[in-house]
C-alpha cells in the first residue's frame, strides 16, 4: 500500500484529506505544526491510537534538517502539500511570515525530493487567488496576477515548482483551488462562522463590499476526490484547476445557511469593508473534467452535510472563538 505524506495535517482541508486516504487504505503520515489554523490536534491523536496506518509528526517545514530526517524515515511515494499560512487579512500584517512559511517550507520539500528521492511525487495546493479579479474563467496556462502578500507567496512558490520540475526533473503537480467548506473549518471562515453562530444563537455581522460578488464553493470531499484522481491520472508536472459549478454571493450563502437553521434574525447587517478585498476569482475546470472528475455534492447538499457535522462537533470550538469569529483570542479578524 502506498505511503502518502500530507503536510499541514492539523488544518481544515488536510484533516479531511487524511481521513479520506485512510479510508482508501493508504498509509498516511502527517507533517504539521500547531497554528491558528489548527483544529484537529485531538483528532490526530485519536487517529494515531486507532489506526496503525497513520502517524503524525509535529514539525515546522522551514526546519530543513528535521523535515529531511522525517521524510528519510518515511520514504513516501507521494507528498500532498497543504501546509501554508492562508489568512489573507493576516498577510497584510505579517507578510514576512507568509513568504517564509509558504515559500521556504515548499522549497525544503523540493530540495528533499531533489537530493534524496526523485521518484517521490508531490502535489502542491495553490489558490485561485494567484489569478485575482479576472474578467473570465482562467485556464491553467494563463499569467498569474497576485494582489496581496498571501497570493504573492503562493504564486512565487508555483514559479519555484515549475523551475525545479524543469531543472531537476522533479515531479510536482499544482492544484489551484476555489473556496472550500466542510468539517474542521475554522471560525474565521465564512461558512463555519455562520453555522456556528447560528447553532449557538450568537448574533453577527459580515464584511460588506465584495459580499455581493459571486464566488465558487466546493465541498471538501470533492476536493479529496479530485486530489486522488490528479495523483493517479494527471500529468506528473501538470497544473489543475479544482472548482465547482456553484457560484453564490456571501449574502446568498448567509441566506441559505440561516434559512436551513431558521436563524435569520441573528444576522445584524453589513459592517466594515475588508481591506483591499479582491472582487472575484474564476477558474476554468474543464481540464480536470477531462480526467474524469465530476462534482459529487451540490452546494446545498454539501451545506447540509457541513451543518450536521458542526452540530455534532460544536464542543470543539471555544465559545470565545465563535463570538469573535476567530478561534484563538483575537477579535481583529472577521469573516
* Nearest C-alpha neighbor of 197 from the set 299, 43, 327, 86: 327
Return the C-alpha cell found at 228.
Answer: 486522488
Q: Are 8 and 83 in contact (CB under 8 A)?
A: yes
Q: Which residue from 49, 8, 56 is spatially nearest to 28, judged by alpha carbons?
A: 56
Q: Is 228 a catalytic residue?
A: no
**Catalytic site residue 150?**
yes
C-alpha 314/C-alpha 39 separation (Å) is 12
Alpha helix segments (H runs only) across the chain = 12-23, 41-50, 64-74, 88-93, 95-98, 105-116, 149-168, 190-199, 220-233, 250-261, 286-291, 299-313, 319-324
Question: Bridge partners of 174?
Answer: 124, 239
Active-site hit among 128, 158, 222, 246: 128
Q: CB within 8 A of 108, min separation 6: which ones?
A: 61, 62, 63, 64, 67, 68
Active site residue: 29, 107, 124, 150, which one? 150
- Residue 294 backbone dihedrals phi, psi, to 5 degrees: -135, 140
- Residue 256's contacts (CB-CB under 8 Å, 6 or more residues apart) are 248, 299, 300, 303
- For this structure, is 128 an active site residue? yes
Output DSSP code: residue 143. Answer: P
94 exposure class (CB count in 10 Å sphere: 0-12, 13-18, 19+): middle
Catalytic residue chosen out of the listed positions 19, 85, 87, 129: 129
In whole angstroms, give the CA distance from residue 10 to residue 57. Answer: 10
**Active-site positions?**
128-129, 150
Amino acid at each position: 500500500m502506498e505511503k502518502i505524506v500530507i503536510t499541514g495535517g492539523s488544518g481544515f482541508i488536510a484533516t479531511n484529506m487524511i481521513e479520506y486516504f485512510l479510508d482508501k487504505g493508504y498509509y498516511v503520515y502527517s507533517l504539521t505544526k500547531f497554528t491558528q489554523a489548527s483544529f484537529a490536534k485531538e483528532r490526530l491523536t485519536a487517529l494515531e491510537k486507532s489506526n496503525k496506518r497513520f502517524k503524525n509528526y509535529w514539525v515546522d517545514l522551514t526546519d530543513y534538517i528535521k523535515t529531511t530526517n522525517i521524510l528519510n524515515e518515511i520514504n513516501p511515494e507521494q507528498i500532498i502539500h497543504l501546509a501554508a499560512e492562508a489568512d489573507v487579512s493576516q498577510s497584510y500584517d505579517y507578510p514576512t511570515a507568509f513568504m517564509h512559511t509558504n515559500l521556504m517550507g515548499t522549497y525544503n520539500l523540493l530540495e528533499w525530493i531533489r537530493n534524496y528521492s526523485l521518484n517521490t511525487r508531490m502535489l502542491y495546493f495553490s489558490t485561485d487567488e494567484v489569478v485575482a479579479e479576472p474578467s473570465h474563467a482562467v485556464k491553467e496556462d494563463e499569467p498569474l496576477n497576485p494582489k496581496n502578500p498571501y497570493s504573492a507567496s503562493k504564486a512565487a512558490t508555483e514559479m519555484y515548482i515549475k523551475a525545479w520540475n524543469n531543472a531537476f526533473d522533479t515531479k510536482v503537480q499544482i492544484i489551484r483551488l476555489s473556496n472550500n467548506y466542510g468539517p474542521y473549518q475554522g471560525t474565521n471562515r465564512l461558512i463555519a462562522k455562520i453555522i456556528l453562530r447560528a447553532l449557538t444563537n450568537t448574533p453577527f455581522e459580515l464584511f460588506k463590499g465584495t459580499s455581493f460578488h459571486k464566488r465558487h464553493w466546493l465541498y471538501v470531499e470533492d476536493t479529496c476526490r479530485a486530489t486522488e484522481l490528479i495523483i493517479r491520472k494527471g500529468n506528473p508536472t501538470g497544473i489543475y484547476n479544482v472548482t465547482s459549478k456553484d457560484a453564490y454571493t456571501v449574502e446568498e450563502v448567509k441566506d441559505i445557511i440561516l434559512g436551513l437553521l431558521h436563524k435569520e434574525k441573528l444576522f445584524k447587517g453589513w459592517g466594515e469593508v475588508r481591506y483591499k478585498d479582491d472582487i472575484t476569482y474564476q477558474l476554468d475546470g474543464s481540464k480536470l473534467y477531462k480526467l474524469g472528475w465530476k462534482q459529487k455534492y451540490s452546494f446545498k447538499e454539501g451545506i447540509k452535510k457541513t451543518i450536521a457535522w458542526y452540530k455534532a462537533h460544536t464542543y470543539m470550538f471555544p465559545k470565545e472563538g465563535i463570538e469573535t469569529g476567530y478561534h484563538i483570542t483575537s477579535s481583529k479578524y472577521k469573516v
